Each structure stands twice: as C-alpha cells, then as structure tokens.
Amino acid sequence: MINKIYRQVKNYSYTKAEKYQRGAEMFWKLFLLLTLPLIPTLILTGFWHIEIFSRDIHLDVDMENIISAAWIPTFGILYSLLAASIFGTVWTEYKAMRTAVKRYDLETFIDLRDEELSPLVRTILIIFSLAVLIAFMSMKYNTWISGDFVIFTTAYLFSTIYLVISEIDDPCGGIWYIKHIPEEWLKIDPKKWRRIRHEEERKKFHQKFNVNGVHFNDSK
C-alpha cells in the first residue's frame, strides 16, 4: 500500500561516500549563503539603533499611518514583482547553462557565459529594497527589541535575496557555481569566440554596405 502512495527512486550516479560528500558541500554552501547577508544586516540594524532609535527620531502618527498603509505595500509589491522577474530570468539562464554542460554544448555555454544583470537592474532592485527598509526605520517602536527585530529581519531578507540572485547570475564562479564545467571552456574569451564564429557573416555585412555605396568604418 505504501509503495502505491510514495515512491523513492535510488540515485545510482553516486556512491554513499559521494552522497555524504555532496551533502557536506551543500551544508557549507548554504551556511555561507545564510551567513554573508548578516554583514550588511548588522551594519544597517546597528545604524538604525544608534543613529535613529537612540535619538528618538521617527515620524508622527499621521505620517506613520500613510507609510504603513500606502508606502510599504506599494514599494513592497513593486519590489516583489521586480525580484521575481529577475530571479526567473537568471534561473532560466542558469538551468540552460547546466544543460549545455551536460550536453557538451559549447556554443550555448559561450553565448550565456557573459550574460549578466545590468547595473541598472541591480540599482533599481537596491532602491526598492531601501525604500521599504527606510520606511520601517522611520516608524516609532515602543521598545528597541521590537524595532531591532523588524529592521534586522527586513534587512536580512533583502540582503539574502540580492545575494542569491547574484550567485545564480554568475554560474561559473562564486559559491553556487556549476560543477563539471570543462576547464578549457573557462579559459575561452566569449567575445573573441563569437567574433571568430561570425567572421563570415561580418564580412558579408561589410561587403553589402560597400556594394550599396555606404561608407562603413571597419577600423575596430
């Protein structure tokens, strides 16, 4: 009866020793990913506690109502939509690169190797997270424990999301990198590779403009 409800398929790709090793690696990677966000979190929480809470700096009651009813929900929703969209994009590219390594598909790997988030996207993600965090910082808390708890958890969540997105955005390095990438692949310059690969199309493009009497600068 149990076999009809739940099935456990054995993974024959790894021995027990390899499974334990993979488990240990997974543990330490998760430990690092959950520990590194503590650095900016503690800095932000300490700043709020010393510079804002200790000096009794906060908004009045009417403004707090506006912040809690409109500011935080609006920017929180916008942040969630943006973070979800970014995560979906980098995760799709990450899975595509893993599949390319498994299939030994160098062309796909090279095309995705230097794909990364634009600094503009990173900036807007940070701005939205800071907008929500500053809103929480500006509110009045009855005790420092409640305030520290709210600021700490909010800052930690935003820092963790940003770190996870950054790790997935760079599958060849960092903590959560793709294993079993051929060493020779990592030594290839993607831009140079694509320039050589499309050299024939590039020549045809130049010839087309020359035939039409259009001056094309091929100095680069």
Give me the DSSP letters along 99-167: HHHHHT-HHHHHHHHT----HHHHHHHHHHHHHHHHHHHTS--SSHHHHHHHHHHHHHHHHHHHHHHHH
State residue 21's pLDDT score: 86
What residues make up the domain containing 102? 35-198
The predicted pLDDT at position 132 comes to 96
Distance from C-alpha of 33 to C-alpha of 164, rounded to nearest angstrom = 8
For residue 81, is it within any domain? yes
Ranges in the chain, pLDDT < 50: 219-220
CA distances from 115 to 145, 152, 162, 169, 190 (A): 43, 33, 17, 8, 10
CB 90 within 8 A of CB 165: yes
CA dist 46 and 134 (Å) reads 14
DSSP symbols for 13-66 = TS-HHHHHHHHHHHHHHHHHHHHTTHHHHHHHHHHIIIIIITTT----HHHHHH
Token pair 């060493």 in the structure block, residue: 183
Q: Residue 11: its pLDDT value, please?
A: 63
Could you tell me the two tokens for 27? 């543990």
Residue 207 has what pLDDT?
Answer: 79
Specify the pLDDT at position 135. Answer: 94
Q: How many domains does the chain have?
A: 1
DSSP-derived letter for residue 177 is P
Let me know if residue 9 belongs to a domain.
no
> What are the CA-CA distances from residue 111 to residues 119, 180, 195 (Å)?
20, 18, 12
pLDDT of residue 147: 94
What does the mean pLDDT of the chain come to? Answer: 88
Predicted local distance difference test score (pLDDT) of residue 1:
55
pTM: 0.84
Report d(CA 37, CA 56) in Å as an integer. Answer: 27
Q: In this structure, is residue 208 part of a structural domain?
A: no
Give the pLDDT of residue 127: 95
Q: What is the CA radius of gyration of the chain?
A: 25
Residue 194: both structure tokens together: 């694509």
Predicted confidence (pLDDT) per residue in 146-188, tens digit: 999 999 999 999 999 999 999 999 999 899 899 889 999 999 9
Asked if residue 52 belongs to a domain, the reply is yes
Q: Is residue 13 part of a domain?
A: no
Does residue 6 lie within any of the structural domains?
A: no
SS3 175: coil
Residue 116 lies in a domain: yes
Residue 176 belongs to some domain of the structure:
yes
